[in-house]
Structure 1
Amino acid sequence: MNPFTESMFVLFAILTIGAWIGQWSWRGISLGTAGVLFAALVFGHFGLSIPKEVMDFGLILFVYSVGLTAGPSFFRTFRRRGMQFVVLAIVIVGSGALLTALAAYLLKLSPALAAGLYTGAMTCTPALASVLDSLHRIAPDEAALASVGYGVAYPFSMISIVLIIQFLPTLLKRPVKIEEGQWLAEKEVESPGLVAHQFRITNPNCDGRTVAEVNPRRLAHVNLSRVKHGDRVFAATPETVLYLGDIVMAVGSADELDKMTLLLGERTDERMDVNAEVLSVDVEVMDESLTGKTLAHMRVWEQFTVVITRIRRQGLEIVPHGRVTLEMGDGIRVVGEKSAVESFVARAQGSPRRASETSMTAYLFGLLIGVLIGLIPVPVGEGVTVKLGMAGGVFLTSLLIGHFGRIGPFRLYVPPAAKNLTRELGLMLFLAGAGTNAGAHLVDVLQDQGWVLLVAGASITLLSALAGLIVMMKVYKLNLLSAMGSLTAAMTNPPALASANNQTETDLPSIAYASTYPVALIFKILLAQALVELLGRLL
């Protein structure tokens, strides 16, 4: 068996056994994807390994899919609670640095060994890379000690945070379902969904005027979707004339609909069953020719003789108006004559294959940009430069792409199933590589350095996590799922994020992870290098 074939056999053996272990359940708790890590530790202990390129490729795929998923909600969440996530990152990362300095003083550790211990306890490979870069310039003979410290602390940190996240709801007696319900209720208040109400035209100023002339946007952000005149119900178009006694259906948020009594007239519960010739249909926009243009520019009624009454995007409902732009994957509700609606639905759906296809040019271009950004050295003074690393650059790029939905002229659409597959497969590849690397050196390092060094690394990890949890729960009173995501980001621990995501149907852990990760990553890179400099002068 040639080396490449052997590596591939080992890789898929680890993935298969790890996935099987991850399915084991005890009292409803399972390891999920993190089971690959434990399988990889055993394989690594017996001298089997995975190419580093496979591990790096997996990490890049994982953070890219997380960023694309969290991007649409990241900026909205960060604007509302951004400072909280910055403070949490600084508390956890800063606590780790202070504890490392204390351990170095008490145990008489060399600056290189202490800095490596810090990067391992924080599970931050980019920070280790920055430490090695500094050491190669100022003390090349001690660079190996940083790797030793990293190797001692890294396995425990990765495994312990995964287990903490897995058991945190039980330890804090805060069921995940209750936390989900509370967050969904808060989300509903912040971004209320759209509802439909009927109004009877009693305002004489509306009599004989068209919907376009009445223009409800003067007072409220709502859309008129249907009109009942006598016994006939039909779609409300801009040219539809309203008369006293007509019943109209308006769609909007509850607060906005309350304003309609001033414009149209009294609320009514009179039924407005659509007749056989009028359809109201929900459809997903998959035709690229309908995207990237405002509704005003598209002139939907004039071009298609249908009315768009609702738009659903990334879990939010948007009131259609002239400045709104349709995006690939939007869910819209259209109302109109049967033949017109059927024609528009066929146009919007495009080719049946489109719903399952990824925009590969945009997808790969985003990865390319992210990798390049991660390789750019950033000067921070006194001849010191730092890099985000490929994973950090790809993650930041994916947040922006996820938010804007495009890269210049290229629009990006990734089906949910493709995002899930990429995230899970990428994480499993990363865990296979990280686990075999850690398993290969763990026993040897413990024998050489003793258990004291392991205890020091474990203390840095656990006490830093505890400090962060205290601030999250006692000071900011974060939702448990948000706290889990923020903790995994501050510890830059993708397996722990996977553990959090496996416990919930919401994206809240990923959103919190995305909000905390950039700050935590940058501070860890800076503090790891600062430890080398400061401890070198103090010890």
Structure 2
Amino acid sequence: MELIALSIIIGICLGKITFKGIKLGNSAVLFVGLSLSYLLGMLGQQTVTISNDLFDLSLIAFISAVGLMASRSIKPIIRTYGLKFIVQAFIITGAGALTTYIFLYFSMGMEGEIIGSYVGALTSSPGLAAALEIGGQSGKNLDAAIGLGYAIAYVPGVLMVVLFVQIIARRSDFEMNSVISKAYHSVELEKKSPSFNILLYIFVILLGLMIGGITVPLPAGNSFTLGITGGTLLSALILGGLNERFIFSDSVLKVIRDLGLNGFLAIVGLKYGYHAIEAVGTVGLKLLGIGIVTGLASIIMGYLVGKYLLKLPVPILIGSLCGGMTSTPGLAAAIDSFESSQVAAGYGAAYPFALINMILMTQFLLN
């Protein structure tokens, strides 16, 4: 527990440091955990023992809070733009997954690292959680390899989104129309949640665990389960989107989300840091290149489809691109670049579908 707390404290401090408008935020906790794990390994303690129950608890807290917060923005935006955000999220995550699949086909022996680079390039902490969970269930012992790929590809993933957003903002002249404005303000109104009901929150989690435990048979003897990550997310999105009693206080959910996320990232870094960093010298540059290509494929395909096929207004398009990449730093850059918080409407609509797609795509890549 002391190492987890230390990783979180140092990571939060480092995450607040901004360099030319870019900061790592909560993800700095992961890199601190990796570093501490490596230092302990150099001193002779090559593995850090952390309870799986603690890992699962932090994961459930993070995913449930994210799902409940995202659920309230779905209805008004979907009501305005129909299924466009579902298509956008699928294109962004699918382009990255297809690129990753091609790399997997030609790179035997690096399955875990390349799949980790996929969720890293798309800056998806829930994707990392799903990859670790699914990888563990497969019996392939890919945890350390997945963590390595994520850590290496994450930084270029963040940088690419932030730079792309700023380039598009400089080249675009836009005017926010009344439909977008009304949709955004309706989202903001729905975000005003008065309280937090612990019993209903526990019900969300229990239902999610039940959903995640359902096994769906697939061809060739394979099977599919959403697991803790997908089940909890789906439960939160459905209950939060359909019933106002499951719209909880934003301030409480943010605390749960941040505690869960920081704990999850610290545990991942501490458990797999030593072996992951040891492997950088042999596969680091290759994974960095794979992460850059994967991230670019997702960004470019998402932008082209959103602009020319779906014809989304530019601020909403950029917001949905950041949501499809599950990139909070990208959203912050978009809000600053467009001098408007209304890009958050596109982000909030695409984000939950991107999370679900990331889990499904990761399941596909690991089977």
User: TM-score scaled by structure 1?
Assistant: 0.55
Q: Which amino acid in 1 is paired with 2:85?
A: F
Q: Which amino acid aligns with 2:18?
A: S
Q: Does 1:424 align with 2:239?
A: no
1:433-491 deviation per Cα after TM superposition (whole angstroms, max 9, x unaligned): 23334532332223354643553354334433433344334543545665566456655
Looking at both structures, which has the greater relative contact order when contacts are Cα pairs under 8 Å and sequence separation is at least 6? 2
| Cα distance in 2, alignment partners of residues 23 and 70 from structure 1 | 24
Deviations 1:11-33 (A, max 9, x none): 22222222212222334443333
| Corresponding position of 1:260 | none
Task: Give the partner amino acid of 2:115.
Answer: Y
Deviations 1:469-518 (A, max 9, x none): 44334543545665566456655x5xx33663687556432332013322
1:137-182 residue CA offsets vs partner (Å, 9 max, x unmatched):
xxxxxx24x5565244211233332333444432333599x98x83
Matched residue, 1:500:
331
Query: Helix, strand or coil for the counterpart of 1:428?
Result: helix
1:382 matched to 2:216? The reply is no
TM-superposition CA deviations, 1:33-65 (whole Å, max 9, x none): 333233233223223856554444333222222
Name stretches of at least 5 consecutive residues in structure 2 with no aligned partner: 41-46, 121-126, 336-340
Residue 390 of structure 1, CA deviation: 0.9
Partner of 1:160: 156
Q: 1:314 to 1:159 in 2, by over 3 A?
A: same
CA distance in 2, matches of 1:453, 1:99: 13
Contact 1:34 / 1:431 at 8 angstroms: preserved in 2? yes
The CA distance in 1 between the partners of 2:156 and 2:39, in whole Å, is 22
What letter corresponds to residue 103 of structure 2 in structure 1?
A
Identify which of 208, 231, 243 aligns with 1:393. 231
Contact 2:135 2:143 in 1 (8 A): no
| CA contact 1:96–1:118 (8 Å) conserved in 2 | no
CA distance in 2, matches of 1:175, 1:435: 39
Q: d(CA) in 2 for partners of 1:483 and 1:52?
A: 39
Q: Structure 1 pair 479/27, CA: closer, same or farther in 2 (3 Å)?
A: farther
Measured after TM superposition, the shift of residue 71 of structure 1 is 1.5
Q: Matched residue of 1:522: which SS? A: helix
Contact 1:18 1:37 in 2 (8 A): yes
* Equivalent position SS for 2:196: coil
Match of 1:11 in 2: 4
The whole-number CA distance in structure 2 between the counterparts of 1:418 and 1:449 is 41
| Superposed displacement of residue 93, structure 1 | 3.7
> 2:167 maps to which residue?
171
> Corresponding residue for 2:65?
65
Higher share of residues assigned helix: 2
Q: Closer, same or farther in 2 for the Cα pair 1:43/1:187, shift >3 Å?
A: same
Which residue does 2:270 correspond to in 1?
A: 436
Say if 1:446 and 1:454, in contact at 8 Å, map to a contact too: no
Is residue 2:102 matched to residue 1:117?
no
Contact 1:501 1:510 in 2 (8 A): no
Cα distance in 1 between the residues matched to 2:160 and 2:237: 27
Whole-Å separation in 2 of the counterparts to 1:424 and 1:132: 24
Say if 1:34 and 1:499, in contact at 8 Å, map to a contact too.
no
- Cross-structure match for 1:32: 25
Superposed displacement of residue 388, structure 1: 1.0
Instruction: Give the SS at the match of 2:72.
Output: helix
SS in 2 for 1:30: coil
For 2:43, the equivalent position in structure 1 comes to none
Length-normalised TM-score, structure 2: 0.76
Structure number with larger C-alpha Rg = 1
- Normalized per residue, which structure has more strand? 1
CA distance 1:106–1:523, change in 2 (3 Å): closer
The runs of at least 4 consecutive aligned structure 1 residues that moved more than 6 Å come to: none
1:367 aligns with 2:171: no
Q: Secondary structure at the match of 1:430?
A: helix
13-22 or 75-84, larger mean C-alpha shift: 75-84
1:103 paired with 2:100, answer no
Equivalent residue in structure 2 for 1:456, among 290, 293, 302: 290
Query: What is the CA-CA distance between 1:74 and the residue it aligns to?
Result: 0.9
C-alpha distance in 2 between matches for 1:478 and 1:396: 26
For 1:46, which of 35, 39, 47 is the aligned residue?
39
Match of 1:476 in 2: 310
Residues 162 and 329, structure 2, Cα contact 8 Å, conserved in 1: no
> Which ranges of structure 1 fall in alignment gaps of 5 or more residues?
1-7, 137-142, 194-312, 318-327, 331-354, 530-539
The one-letter code sitting in structure 2 at the alignment partner of 1:103 is F
Which of 168, 188, 194 in structure 2 is aligned with 1:315?
188
* Distance (whole Å) between structure 1 residues aligned to residue 26 and residue 313 of structure 2: 24
Q: Matched residue of 1:24: which SS?
A: coil
Secondary structure at the counterpart of residue 25 of structure 1: coil
Deviation at 1:99, TM superposition (A): 2.9
2:350 pairs, out of 512, 523, 526, with 512
Residues 345-385 of structure 1, C-alpha deviations (whole Å, 9 max, x = no match) = xxxxxxxxxx5x52111111111111221122122233221
